[in-house]
Amino acid sequence: MQDIPRMLGRLATGLALGIALTAAAMGVAQAEVVLRRGNGAEPATLDTHKSTGVPESYIQMDLFEGLLASDPEAKPIPGAAESWTISDDGTVYTFKLRSDAKWSDGSPVTAEDFVFSWRRLADPATASQYAFFIWPVKNGEAITKGEMPPDALAVEAVDQKTLKVTLRAPTPYFLSAQLHHALFPVSKANVEKFGADYLKPGNLVSNGAYTLAEHVPQSHVKLVKNPAYYGAKDVKVDTVYFYVTEDIDAELKRFRAGDLDATYEMPPQQIPWAKANMADSFRAPAYLGSYYYAFNLTHEPWKSNAKLRKAVSLAVDREILVEKITQAGELPAYGFVPPGIVNYQSATLDYAGMPQKDRDALAKKLFAEAGYGPGKPLDLEIFYNTNDRHKKIAIAVGGMLKQKLGINTTLTNQEWKVYLDARNQKTYKDVIRVGWIGDYNDPNTFLELLRGDIGPQNPAAYDNPRYNELLSKAGRTADLQERGRIMTEAEALMLEDHPIIPLYYYTRPLMVASYVKGWQDNILNYHPTRFITVQK
């Protein structure tokens, strides 16, 4: 009998020990902070010079750091460079690199790494789709065209930590363009050592807050904290997973089941549900994107009939589109460049202040003046890439045009590459749906699309010499306020010509768990993990 208390005593000791051990183990487990992000499509490549997609850019932003980096609100802050000077004429930039900027293998980040990386970007042998990011630098374009050797690029390592860049003309967005992955550095020693295999986990060295641990195609990319990063002590998340989430419905389910801490996007039809049931996680910040229809200006009736274009544009009720169809807080668009760009005041269509009823009346009047009406109806084809949202919008727009102007609309959809082909070749009949997300925080990333000399990219084949001239003039203007003013003038001029029907400015609906802290909404949707923490 007397053994029982002793046994109980042992049992208690054992239990206490077990609990203590478990607690200790849990303590260790808790010490590792993990962030699991839905990241959309499978990354096409992690090579900063070769990738073009948004999912890749989020991973690269954690792996690498350019001369400038993004703060939590996507504003440029010093990155690999701690300071810089710009010559009076705005063409020579001298960057001073941080003395403590290191690659993940401990070697210093040098000016020579940038020279090597930018030459690699320009080099036709690299076959970079974003090589034009280096074209503002003197000789960059000629190198990509194969007219000059890569070492002719006007980038010079003055000493180990000083980089001197000569531009072909003042380029005010050159600094904010440093946030783009195309201009990120790669380690010269590392690329030369491993060649094409330098991107493999274990080989890759990076200079950002994270290093590459795993890359499983169609599954995930796993990054771990880079201890050599100069800001490592402020980085809270130890491990970040970027999961491939191509099926957006499945992505939302994984979020709801707690398998993801943040999603890449949201199924549009689930937005009302999310607003009602998961309001603390649902976000739809304004996004640097413009959704619009373009007229095919290569042939009649659109080519020389601005009145007709304006009539069609007037008859589209944007308020209904954003309230009833898109439903994610999008702003109705009456201009081309989305609001929120620094040093820029967007222009708007002259009828923006008019109530829809008056717009409809004016539309009817202009439509009749253009020679159309009950006696001569107009047939119009809306062309879009196959997608549920584009279809709903096209149906609604078609209905509005039928009801107000008696226009007979037909809808045509094609899969992505066929759609692109039709857009580039201008083989679509009347009107094409276009969306554009800005590459950097500057009006030029939108306005240049409608330049007459940009080539097939211009969806409307719009060509107004005065518009082209204004944009060129802005490109030569170093004063940022003045430059912005000229670009606003250009935008206003273009809007008066009605080559496009602006419909709405994007938002970026997505889910972020409430325990994810430091995730700040911004128009570029940049969320470097180094500023994020997870507090469960």
Partner 1 sequence: MLSYAVRRLLGAIPTLLVILTIAFFMIRLAPGGPFDDERTLPAEIEANMKAAYNLDQPLPVQYLRYLGGVLRGDFGPSFKYRDFTVNQLIWGGFPVSLRIGGIAIALAAVVGTTLGALAALRQNSGLDHGVMALAMTGITIPNFVVAPLLTLVLGVHLGLLPVGGYGDGSWRNLLLPVVALALPQIAYIARLTRASMIETLRSNFVRTARAKGLPEGTMLRRHALKGALLPVVSYLGPATAGIITGSVVIEQIFGIPGIGRYFVQGALNRDYTLVMGVVVFYGALIILFNLLVDLLYGALDPRVRYD
Binding-site ranges for partner 1 (CB under 8 A): 42-47, 50-52, 124-125, 127-129, 131-132, 144-146, 199, 215-220, 243-247, 249-250, 253-254, 256-259, 415-418, 420-422, 424, 435-437, 439, 455-457
Measured from the CB atom, is 393 or 422 closer to partner 1? 422
Min dist. Cβ of residue 153 to partner 1 (A): 16
Give residue 324's identity as a one-letter amino acid code. K
Does residue 441 sit in helix, strand or coil? coil
User: Closest separation between CB of residue 407 and partner 1, Å?
Assistant: 28
Shortest distance, CB of residue 64 to partner 1, whole angstroms? 15
User: Would you tell me how many other CB atoms lie within 10 Å of the CB of residue 23?
Assistant: 10
Is there a contact between 198 and 186 (Cβ–Cβ < 8 Å)? yes
Pick 350 or 415: Cβ nearer partner 1:
415
Q: What are φ and ψ of residue 67, in 5° steps?
A: -55, -40
Least distance (Å) from partner 1 to the CB of residue 166?
A: 21
Q: How far is the CB of 215 from partner 1 (least distance, A)?
A: 7
Q: Return the number of the residue (468 or 477) whose C-beta is nearest partner 1.
A: 468
Q: Which residues pair with 211 in a beta bridge?
A: 224
DSSP 333-357: -SSSSPS--TT------TTTTS-HH
The CB-of-209 to partner 1 minimum distance in angstroms stands at 21
- H helix or E strand, kind and range, residue 56: helix 54-63
Is 249 strand, coil or helix?
Answer: helix
Task: State in angstroms the smallest separation of the CB of 114 from partner 1.
Answer: 21
Phi-psi region of 273 (alpha: psi -120 to 50; beta: other; left: phi over 0): alpha
E strand spans, 8-159: 34-38, 68-70, 76-78, 81-86, 92-97, 155-159
CB of 127: closest distance to partner 1 in angstroms?
4
Q: How far is the CB of 415 from partner 1 (least distance, A)?
A: 6
Q: Among residues 219 and 481, whose Cβ is nearest to partner 1?
A: 219
Nearer to partner 1, 91 or 128 (CB): 128
Gap between the Cα atoms of 269 and 291, Å rounded: 18
Min separation Cβ 123 and partner 1, Å: 9
Task: Name which of 25 and 44 has its Cβ closer to partner 1.
Answer: 44
Q: Looking at beta carbons only, is 45 or 408 nearer to partner 1?
A: 45
State the nearest-atom distance from the C-beta of 512 to partner 1, in Å.
18
Q: Rounded to the nearest whole angstrom, what is the least distance from the CB of residue 254 to partner 1 in the complex? A: 5
* Residue 412 exposed, middle or buried by CB count within 10 Å (0-12, 13-18, 19+): middle
Q: How far apart are CA 387 and CA 203, in angstroms?
A: 40
Burial pattern 243-274, b for ≥16 Cβ within 10 A else e, equals bbbeebeebbebbeeeebbbbbbbbbebbeeb
| Nearest in space to 117 (alpha carbons), one of 153, 169, 161, 78 | 153
Nearer to partner 1, 267 or 518 (CB): 267
Q: Name the nearest CA neighbour of 171 among 504, 516, 456, 474.
A: 474
Give the shortest CB-342-to-partner 1 separation in angstroms: 22
For residue 463 the two structure tokens come to: 């060509």
Nearer to partner 1, 403 or 427 (CB): 427
Residue that is written with structure tokens 């081309």 in the block: 336
Task: Give the strand order in the sheet containing 331-332.
Answer: 331-332, 500-507, 286-295, 431-437, 379-385, 408-414
Q: CB-wise, 156 or 246, nearer to partner 1?
A: 246
396: buried, middle or exposed (CB in 10 Å: 19+, 13-18, 0-12)? Answer: middle
As given in the structure block, the two tokens for residue 63 are: 């792996």
Nearer to partner 1, 159 or 247 (CB): 247
For residue 443, give the nearest of 486, 499, 476 by alpha carbon.
486
- Report the alpha-carbon distance of residue 205 to residue 191 in Å, rounded: 9
Residue type, position 183, single letter: L
In the complex, what is the shortest distance from the CB of residue 141 to partner 1, in angstroms, rounded to a whole number? 8
Choice between 46 and 80, CB closer to partner 1: 46
Using the CB atoms, write b or e for 419-430: b if 16+ within 10 Å.
beebbeebebbb
Residue nearer to partner 1 on the CB measure, 52 or 533: 52
| Residues 6 or more apart whose Cβ sits within 8 Å of residue 447 | 336, 337, 471, 487, 490, 491, 494
Closer residue to partner 1 (CB): 80 or 260? 260
Q: Specify the pairing of strand 379-385 against strand 431-437.
A: parallel
